[in-house]
């Protein structure tokens, strides 16, 4: 058994469009309410519209309010267990019994009894001053528990995904999550974020993506057949070192971005990033970056003002390497466009 626990705080573009259908081998799942476009933030043109409609009508997800769904919000640990409990209970004709405590207690208790006592009980633990149940769930956590919502017989293979072919799945060291994720790819429930099947195991998953995964789980007709491309390999040389960017503004020499790459190999880059500004400095933390393509690596971290150390915001780093240049995009609070975009001149080359 793999020992090291991954963080529940870290955060597949597991995307699919779906429409209500007859649920062949999963016939116990039937619509219990109607969706009539009441979520103002789920426009009919959105890729996830039919997904949200299906998941809502099946009673497996609710809105964030009567009129909103919050498709871009991250799903929490408690919400993951709630969905897993609902799916498992419906499939097996079980009852989710009331339980004292927070709103999610009945679902956590159900998951502890029927899914995984050790992992699911972690929802009650504290992460600092916050209950783990209220923390964002990573994609690995989501996939690990969602796999257990249905029996393995429901995951018939429709795609050929050889062992070792997914760029960032084999390095997952949480229980048997890597094997479960491969099964979900092979069953057409997970497709990855790019043509190589990159999974991004430590990033969060949005409520829109969750609705899409539910639709694939429940309706096999919605599962996707696909062929992944082999990830190209590049040799990166000469990138280790410290780099500085002043925004090319001689009138503001105190504005400087510092990037230090201390080591790199075929899978990860160990780096440090900082932005110095006297009086109101912005501090950044970073985890080791993992390659998502031959020349691009992605990492997670936080950012905060030095005089407000408790006001932290999640950050995603995207480093792209080319000849004599490192381009760094920084996305804060789940932004889809870079909040910072910085180039560092260097001696590195791509072979």
pLDDT tens per residue across span 115-145: 999 999 999 999 888 999 999 999 999 999 9
Same structural domain for residues 211 and 241?
Answer: no
Residue 84 has pLDDT above 70, yes or no: yes
- The band of 2, judged by pLDDT with boundaries at 50, 70 and 90, is very low
Higher pLDDT pick, 2 / 94: 94
Residue 15 has pLDDT above 70, yes or no: no
Question: Is there a single domain that holds both residue 218 and residue 254?
Answer: no
Q: Do 102 and 203 fall within a single domain?
A: yes
Q: Which of 189, 222, 255 is the C-terminal boundary of a domain?
A: 222
Determine what percent of the chain is predicted with pLDDT higher than 90.
58
Residue ranges of E strands in 173-255 = 236-237, 241-245
Is there a single domain that holds both residue 167 and residue 64? yes
In a shared domain, residues 195 and 321: no
Greatest mean pLDDT among 45-54, 150-159, 332-341 lies in 150-159
CA dist., res. 126 & res. 112, Å (int): 17
Q: What is the pLDDT of residue 168?
A: 87
Q: Is residue 114 located within the same domain as residue 218?
A: yes
Together in a domain, 297 and 205: no
Residues 192, 65 share a domain: yes
- Each residue's pLDDT tens digit, 33-77: 999 999 999 999 998 998 899 899 999 999 999 999 999 999 999
CATH code (residue 290): 2.40.128
Please report which helix (H) or strand (E) contains residue 327, including its range.
Answer: strand 325-332
Residue 73 counted as domain residue: yes
Is 298 in the same domain as 209? no
Residue range(s) defining the domain that contains residue 105: 24-222
Mean pLDDT of 305-315: 79
Residues 94 and 201 in one domain: yes
Residues 85 and 148 in one domain: yes
Residue 183 and residue 108 share a domain: yes
Any domain includes 322: yes
- Give the whole-angstrom CA distance, residue 164 versus residue 139: 19
Q: Quick check: is 319 in a domain?
A: yes
Task: From residue 233, give the alpha-carbon distance in Å to each of 51, 77, 114, 166, 194.
Answer: 35, 35, 43, 14, 15
Is pLDDT above 90 for 234?
A: no
Quote the number of domains for the chain: 2
Q: What is the pLDDT of residue 313?
A: 87
| Last residue within a domain, chosen from 165, 187, 222 | 222
247-261 average pLDDT score: 71
Q: Residue 23: its pLDDT value, please?
A: 36
More confident residue, 31 or 308: 31
Is 16 inside any structural domain? no
């Amino acid at each position: 058994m793999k020992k090291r626990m991954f963080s529940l705080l870290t955060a597949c573009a597991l995307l699919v469009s779906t429409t209500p259908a007859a649920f062949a081998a999963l016939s116990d799942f039937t619509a219990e309410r109607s969706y009539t476009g009441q979520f103002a933030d789920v426009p009919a043109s959105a890729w996830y519209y039919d997904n949200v409609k299906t998941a809502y009508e099946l009673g497996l997800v609710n809105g964030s309010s009567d009129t909103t769904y919050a498709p871009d919000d991250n799903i929490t640990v408690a919400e993951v267990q709630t969905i897993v409990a609902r799916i498992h209970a419906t499939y097996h004709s079980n009852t989710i019994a009331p339980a004292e405590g927070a709103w999610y207690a009945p679902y956590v208790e159900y998951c502890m009894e029927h899914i995984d006592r050790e992992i699911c009980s972690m929802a009650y633990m504290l992460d600092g001053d916050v209950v783990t149940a209220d923390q964002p769930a990573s994609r690995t956590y989501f996939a690990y528990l969602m796999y257990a919502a249905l029996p393995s017989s429901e995951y018939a293979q429709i795609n050929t995904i050889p062992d070792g072919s997914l760029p960032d799945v084999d390095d997952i060291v949480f229980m048997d999550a890597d094997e479960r994720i491969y099964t979900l790819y092979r069953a057409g429930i997970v497709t990855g974020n790019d043509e190589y099947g990159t999974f991004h195991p430590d990033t969060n998953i949005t409520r829109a993506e969750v609705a899409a995964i539910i639709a694939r789980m429940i309706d096999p007709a919605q599962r996707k057949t696909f062929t992944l491309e082999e990830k190209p390999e590049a040799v990166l040389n000469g990138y280790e070192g410290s780099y500085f960017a002043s925004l090319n503004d001689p009138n503001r020499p105190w504005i400087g971005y510092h990037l230090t790459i201390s080591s790199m190999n075929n899978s990860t880059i160990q780096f440090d990033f900082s932005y110095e500004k006297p009086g109101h400095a912005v501090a950044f933390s970073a985890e080791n970056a993992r390659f998502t393509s031959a020349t691009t690596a992605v990492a997670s971290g936080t950012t905060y003002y030095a005089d407000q150390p408790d006001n932290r915001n999640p950050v995603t780093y995207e480093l792209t390497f080319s000849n004599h240049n490192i381009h760094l995009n920084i996305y804060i609070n789940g932004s889809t466009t870079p909040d910072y975009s910085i180039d560092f001149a260097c001696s590195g080359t791509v072979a």
